[in-house]
Amino acid sequence: MVDGERELELETFLKASAYILGASGSSIMYKVVLEDGTTLVVRRIGESGMEKFKDFENQVKIIAKLVYPNLVTIREFYWGTEEKLVIYDFVPNGNLADARYILILNLDELDLSA
């Protein structure tokens, strides 16, 4: 649990519908829809050595406290021997790469001669 938010039970996630959103070299992102209709994103990060747990925990808690329009809220995290999970709010309407591309297209269309 991060910063007093409602704690999510593992059992809740096991019952949830999950859809792959994307993957990188070290992680996979899933869109998870809970029984109550809440939609979250889970980033599953492979391999985790216990010696780095405190560093991971501290970094997640610091990031979770940041408030900025372009940052998605971190709800919770999990550290296991085989993987780490970071749970975020789901933001509809595409991904950051698509939003950046659209912004660049819109900037190209602006008339900057005025």
Residue-wise pLDDT for 4-48, tens only, equals 455 666 677 667 888 888 888 778 888 988 888 888 888 888 766
The domain that holds 85 is classified in CATH as: 3.30.200.20
Where in the sequence is the domain holding 96, given as residue range(s)?
A: 10-109
Would 76 be classed as within a structural domain? yes
89 belongs to a structural domain = yes
- Band of the pLDDT at 102, cuts 50, 70, 90? low
pLDDT of residue 84: 82
For residue 105, give Cα distances in angstroms to 22, 80, 100, 102, 113. 23, 42, 9, 5, 17
Domain annotation covers residue 50: yes
* Number of structural domains found in the chain: 1
pTM here is 0.63
